[in-house]
Amino acid sequence: MSPVSVLIVDDSTTVRAVLRRVLESSHGIAVVGEAADGNQGVAETLRLQPDVVIMDLDLPGIDGYTATAQIMARRPTPIVVVTSRVKRDEMRGAFEALKRGAVAVFPKPEVPEQWAELGRQLPETVRQVGSKSAAASASDGSAVAPAGRRRMRVLAIGASTGGPGAVCALLKGLGRNPPIGIAIVQHIAAGFEGGFADWLGHELDLDVGIASDGEVLRAGTVRIAEANRHLLLDAALRQRLDGATPPLRGHRPSVNVLFKSLLGGAPEEVAAVLLTGMGDDGAEGMLSLRHAGALTIAQNQASCAVYGMPRAALESGAADVAASPPEIGRMIANLLRGAGS
């Protein structure tokens, strides 16, 4: 199999050199070019046609947002953002890059320990998003929406790479003032969950925030799991944050932990959704929820940035149906309204 080809776009010679070393020290990745500004990044993407672009946001000429938009319009390519915009008041801009087509955002390291962490995470993300065209053996599932009316109190969503944009599209499909509480586990770099909540609230005009211990998840509210703490919901939909239980298969928060917590209440009043992302987090918990009567939905392959978590759900028989994020939102909205009944 050919290595995943990567173009690095950053105005710092030092950062480009370190990113090159991080990526090329990992099996299956080849850096095929570098660019020092946004215009050059677009031109080199068109010339080299890499599998993945690593993109800074603060660039000379056109910035990373504009470069991302131009690349997605002219030669759609998976774009992974590595940015220094990690302050809460600057982070909405980083999520704008996701809205324009980027699939993942990482903070630019400031100390050697952070570079070591990026060195563990970035190559795997690059390999996954750069291999999107590989054929999958799993069925893409049925796109036939369930009909009738269904009482649902909670929508639980799990997502990873490519998830922020998919989550936003799904929630927009629900329409205004959805009569259901929404809990989200999004695998994201620590420190970005607050920016994700701010951006999502701005995009949706909903009550979006980070989950707090003891708060009841009410209809029309969206709560996002905090970094390094599992999110659980009890039978009364009271949120519990658990920082003592170790990561489950490398994840804290874990989608499986959220999904399995919902077995203790009224699982038949739960809709569980798995969106784009690496690995299989959530598939086991979703299967348990399906057996208990919950509605279970996976994102379809065609709309995924990384067809990992949804694929695991479909292969295990955990998902009732597969669809794109906007279709999933509309399905749930129709069931809540009783469309087709």
**Among 93, 90, 55, which Cα is nearest to 71's?**
55
Question: Does residue 279 contact residue 249 with C-beta atoms inside 8 Å?
Answer: yes
Asked if 160 is an active-site residue, the reply is yes
Q: Which among 10, 187, 230, 254 is annotated as catalytic?
A: 187
CB atoms within 10 A of CB 291: 13
Asked if 205 is an active-site residue, the reply is no
How far is Cα 162 from Cα 128, in angstroms, rounded to an integer? 11
Pairing of strands 207-210, 221-224: parallel
Q: Which among 160, 261, 288, 324 is annotated as catalytic?
A: 160
How far is Cα 328 from Cα 166, in angstroms, rounded to an integer? 10
**Among 63, 17, 70, 65, which Cα is nearest to 37's?**
63
Asked if 341 is an active-site residue, the reply is no
Strands (E), the chain: 4-9, 29-35, 52-55, 79-83, 104-107, 154-159, 181-186, 207-210, 221-224, 230-233, 239-242, 270-274, 295-299, 321-323
Q: How far is CA 338 from CA 31, 254, 281, in A?
A: 52, 32, 31
CA distance from start to end of the chain: 50
Q: Exposure pattern of 93-129 as b/e (b: 16+ CB <10 Å)?
A: bbbbbbbbbbbbbbbbbeeeeebeebbeebbebbbbb
Q: Which among 281, 288, 303, 324 is annotated as catalytic?
A: 281
**Among 184, 201, 10, which Cα is nearest to 88's?**
201
> Residue 269 class from Cβ within 10 Å (0-12 exposed, 13-18 middle, 19+ buried)?
middle
How far is Cα 16 from Cα 34, in angstroms, rounded to an integer? 7
Active site residues: 160, 187, 281
